[in-house]
Amino acid sequence: MSARPPAPASIAEGARVAGRRRRARSLESTNARFAYWMLVPSLLCLALVAFYPMVNTILTSFTDATFGQANTNFVGLKNYVTLVQDPTFRSAIGVSIRFTVITVVFEFVLGLIVAMVVNSAFRGRGAVRAAMLIPWALITVISAAMWKLMYNQIYGVFNDILVTRLHVLALNQDFLGNRVTALPAVAGIDIWKTTPFIALLLLAGLQLIPGDVYEAADVDGASKIRTFFSITLPLLMPSILVAVVIRALDALRVFDVFYVLFGQRPDTTTMSILVQEQIIYFGKVGYGSAVSVGILFIIAIFIVIYMLMSRWSAARS
């Protein structure tokens, strides 16, 4: 017995479905091409202002280029050998990394506290959100100069409070001149200035967490601490990683606040200040470029760590 042929209505319906699928795929392809073309100006701009200088810096690092010298010679890895053996570069790495660790840890902890407080419902929350961005909005050079006056050994407000008013210290302290207190002093400035930025990033992550999750935790009788470590912290991890990496990369390249407070002091020279010294003051363009490549390599390590932690966070979630 032969099979019954399909009804004409079902054939027509199948043709209509296939046509809709083809049109949908065509629309997706058109949208994708349009999106790629929209990215072309940004990619060209990025290549002009970022990729070309980076490649040029890497190529220059293999030469003995100096200011005022028309001809440059290829020296191979000589600049990098000098860089590895240079105690000034190792000291600059140490200063930059210590500054990064101190500031990122404190800014993350304080920023998380501020974000959770601001995320709660209270009167005047909008005004508080706007006011907390004032330190971050200030130009770094201006805020550093302001704090330099506050740290002053003779007429600074901190010595006035600690020595004259609270009698915690017997003598006025040179917070910026003392090798022990210099780094914590400049880290305090950065923590004051950048904590609102971290809080803003974490606040955006907190607002993405659905309220139903917290309602379910309340129904189950979970404590505030258990809710924080079991719900808030895991769901906030992507925002935490972004905030920490952005802040760490920025702190590793710190220049302005150190330069305003200390100038060119050996014990407070960061990697960026070292580049400026070698190229601008000493005219060693080739060696300064090698220092810049060294900074790029250290930043690349942080980016790889971020990518690994992002995959780990995605796998857990």
What are the pLDDT digits (tens) for 32-56?
777 788 888 888 887 788 888 888 9
The kind and range of the H/E element at 55 are helix 52-60
- pLDDT computed for residue 6 by the predictor: 54
Per-residue pLDDT of the chain (317 residues; tens, 9 = 90+): 455 555 555 555 555 655 566 666 666 777 777 778 888 888 888 778 888 888 899 999 999 998 877 788 899 999 999 999 999 999 999 999 999 999 999 999 999 999 999 988 778 778 888 888 889 888 999 999 999 999 999 989 999 999 988 988 889 999 999 889 999 999 999 999 999 999 999 999 999 888 888 888 888 888 888 888 888 888 898 889 889 988 999 999 999 999 999 988 888 999 999 999 999 888 999 999 999 999 999 888 888 888 888 788 777 76
Q: Which residues make Cβ contacts (< 8 Å) with residue 254, sequence separation at least 6?
A: 96, 99, 190, 270, 272
89 neighbors 291 (Cβ within 8 angstroms): yes
What pLDDT score does 87 carry? Answer: 93
What CATH class does 79-316 carry?
mainly alpha
**Residue 20: per-residue pLDDT:** 61
251 to each of 42, 93, 104, 256, 299, how far by Cα in Å?
A: 26, 12, 8, 11, 10
Q: Where are the domains of the chain?
A: 79-316
Q: Measuring CA to CA, how many Å separate 222 from each of 117, 152, 229?
A: 20, 50, 11
What does the pLDDT look like over 123-136, one tens digit per residue? Answer: 877 888 888 888 98
Q: What pLDDT, on the 0 to 100 scale, is given for residue 203?
A: 92
Segment 50-80, tens digit of pLDDT? 888 888 999 999 999 988 777 888 999 999 9
pLDDT at 123: 81
**Distance, CA of 39 to CA of 16 (rounded, Å):** 35
